[in-house]
Structure 1
Amino acid sequence: MKGLEPANLPQILDRFKTFMPTVVGDGEGIERIAYELCQFQAENKVVYFETRYSPQLLANCNVALEWGQKPGNLTPHDVVLSVNEGLRKGCEDFGVKANSILCCFQHRPEWSAEVLSLCREFQDRGVVGMDIAGYETVPFDPLHIQAFQEAARCGIHRTAHAGESSSAEAVREAVDKMNVERLGHGYLVLQDEELYQRVKKMNIHFEASLISSYYTGVCKLENFDNHPVKRFAEDDVNFSLSTDDPGVFLCTFDDEFDLAFDKVGLNEAQITKSIFNAARSAFLPEAEKRDLIEQLMKEYNAS
């Protein structure tokens, strides 16, 4: 493994304090990062991706200043505009397709209504869903639940970081109270077999990342053959492999797939199926999703 030493989720999230202050409030810099992300994904042979971020954590106006930055004039709304423009230019220049997901944060329930509002405003302009991230707390704050329930009513796609560092109860709340379609990580669902079987039957998608699960202490390197992803694959659960913060963990999709094959023990067919699972669970209109799946089928000579 390259990058950081293994730790836990709070310790890893604290690392963002190192570089975030250099980015916050810089609209041109944020646009450039979004643009270069498209280049990075194209170089790694990605044809479609959904990037996620918090508009509030990148703003320095009309928002609590999380990073000790000076007040400025970049609002959360401006952040979305900057990201959208960077993605637009990057997709055009590098031949990839990209959308974004806006994140609520566990410790800032007062932001969730604004996140929902931005999702609604930009629903047809590159923003395809809403997420919640940060230190896992159970139960979820009522303001988060209210925002996610309203998002479901408005047809905004929903995913949640849940069941990575707390308990299976976080997965239960995300599914039952927040009406999520996808789960970020979700590994601790295996603590509750009844819940696991129900989530499997509902075909909720698990966004797994092997490398981040090592650095956040979810799985030790010597125990990767018992990683929850192995159970997901054996049970034909709807999951995919993702790069979680590649700029922090210095990882690519090839690294994820190599680890899945060499350490977890997934076979080529299971890894390939996870890629198609990702496409089928993408937050895309059905016509665009069909086009993406057809593109992948040609690439993998599938029928």
Structure 2
Amino acid sequence: MSTPVTLENIRSAPKVLLHDHLDGGLRPGTVVDLAREVGYTGLPTTDAAELGAWFAAAADSGSLVRYLETFAHTVGVMQTREALVRVAAEAAEDLAADGVVYAEVRYAPELFVERGMGLDEIVEAVQEGFREGERRAAEAGRRIRIGTLLCGMRQNDRAWEIANLAVRYRDAGVVGFDIAGPEAGFPPTRNLDAFEYLRRENAHFTIHAGEAFGLPSIWEAIQHCGAERLGHGVRIMDDIEVDQDGRVRLGRLAHYVRDRRIPLEMCPTSNLQTGAASSVAEHPIGLLARLRFRVTVNTDNRLMSHCTLSSEFAALVDAFGYGWGDIQWFTVNAMKSSFLGFDERLQLINDVIKPGYAALMG
């Protein structure tokens, strides 16, 4: 007999997360603790519950200024080695507690140099934290593996330097590279030297594209830069027409993305906050999944969006009537699209993910 598809039961299902920002997923209590330890005085409140509510309200405000302010606070308290180790360890623990069995967590090393840490020291601290978090999760009976993505900020012109860092640490758990930051005015081709270097080094990368900017961003990311995945990619809908009678026509770029099985790292709650849709039910993920694009479900920023991967799936279940088969499809999509080696992906799909959903489907 099939297990009911409830939020609590979704938490017990094995899940895979490809798009999660380290500085967007801190525990509110940790932000308060770290602010006290490092002497950061900019928080709007030092009450953890109130601070958590403030982050969610600021992210939901519709004001880009307030949304960006939330990251000023998290980045502001993550400027020491000890802080990075703690935040990374807690991220692994929190994801494991939510039933995530594999996650790729990303961050921009260049954001954490304000107190004199070097880039190598930053990467090594985060990797130490992830390994510690994996260990604690295993002790609690939950196994998780974290792969790291290093981000270059597209407005700062340090992408090649960070790409080189990702290659140097790829045998230490860094599985790939990304560029983040504002799309408008900072097209991915500004960082073409970084992507050419990564391809020469047989290294993996995804690109934030098609979140706040339209089809040109997606086209450049794929055709000029060679992106293996699209961070968000929600604006691919601009190349899809839906007639009044329900017939769907794909433009050339949308056809290419679907035909090539280029993964879309979709983050429903975050996309609502940035105006991609007015409700989950109207989010493009429903149509894109029905058209069998390589859609994956992600959190983006768990603190700001006040979400978990389980709550994102629960919202999709409510909006589109999805069952366990659909959640498994999204999960296998994500595992296939990860930057782990083929054998490791296959092992997680066959030994962890499929048996987990078979038990839930009865």
Please give the TM-score of this superposition, normalised by the length of structure 2.
Answer: 0.75
Supply the distance in 2 between the matched residues of 1:230 and 1:98 (Cα, whole angstroms). Answer: 28
Task: Determine whether 1:80 maps to 2:123.
Answer: yes
Q: Which residue is 1:284 aligned to?
A: 340
Q: Which residue is 2:95 aligned to?
A: 41
User: Considering only aligned residues, what root-mean-square deviation do their CA atoms show, in Å?
Assistant: 1.9
Q: Which residue is 2:113 aligned to?
A: 59
Distance 1:264 1:209, change over 3 A: farther
Alpha-carbon shift at residue 92 of structure 1 (Å): 1.8
Alpha-carbon shift at residue 226 of structure 1 (Å): 2.7
2:155 touches 2:186 (CA, 8 Å); kept in 1? Answer: no
Say which of 74, 86, 97 aligns to 1:19: 74
Q: Which residue is 1:131 aligned to?
A: 178
1:186-219 Cα offsets, whole Å, 9 max, x none, are 1111212221111111110001111101111211
Q: Which residue is 1:156 aligned to?
A: 203
Q: Which residue is 1:64 aligned to?
A: none
The amino acid across from 2:97 in the alignment is E
Task: Determine whether 1:236 maps to 2:284.
Answer: no
Secondary structure of the 1:135 match is coil
1:254-291 Cα offsets, whole Å, 9 max, x none, are 21011111124544432320111001111101111111
Please give the TM-score of this superposition, normalised by the length of structure 1.
Answer: 0.89
The 5-angstrom pairing of residues 136-215 of structure 1 reads 136-137=183-184, 140=187, 142-192=189-239, 193-215=251-273
Supply the distance in 2 between the matched residues of 1:160 and 1:152 (Cα, whole angstroms). Answer: 14
- How many residue pairs get aligned? The number is 287
1:125-153 Cα offsets, whole Å, 9 max, x none, are 11000001111135626551110121122
1:36 touches 1:90 (CA, 8 Å); kept in 2? Answer: yes
Distance 1:145 1:9, change over 3 A: farther
The amino acid across from 1:296 in the alignment is I
1:66-115 Cα offsets, whole Å, 9 max, x none, are xxxxxx33111111000010111111221311110000112112x11111
The amino acid across from 1:300 in the alignment is Y
Select the structure of larger CA radius of gyration.
2
1:133-188 Cα offsets, whole Å, 9 max, x none, are 11113562655111012112211111011101111110000001111111111111
The amino acid across from 1:23 in the alignment is M
Distance 1:10 1:104, change over 3 A: farther
Q: Which residue is 2:40 aligned to?
A: none
Q: Which residue is 2:168 aligned to?
A: 121
Distance 1:153 1:137, change over 3 A: farther
Task: Determine whether 1:252 maps to 2:308.
Answer: yes
The amino acid across from 2:258 in the alignment is K
Secondary structure of the 1:249 match is coil
Supply the distance in 1 between the matched residues of 2:62 and 2:322 (Cα, whole angstroms). Answer: 25
Distance 1:11 1:198, change over 3 A: farther
List runs of 5+ in structure 2 lacking aligned partners. Answer: 1-52, 139-143, 240-250
Secondary structure of the 2:172 match is coil
Supply the distance in 1 between the matched residues of 2:125 and 2:313 (Cα, whole angstroms). Answer: 32
The amino acid across from 2:256 in the alignment is R
Distance 1:202 1:27, change over 3 A: same
Supply the distance in 2 between the matched residues of 1:80 and 1:262 (Cα, whole angstroms). Answer: 39
**Per chain length, whose mean CA-contact separation is higher, i.e. which structure has more relative contact order (CA < 8 Å, sep 6+)?**
2
Answer with 3-12 or 48-57: which moved more.
3-12
The amino acid across from 1:297 in the alignment is K
List runs of 5+ in structure 1 lacking aligned partners. Answer: 61-71
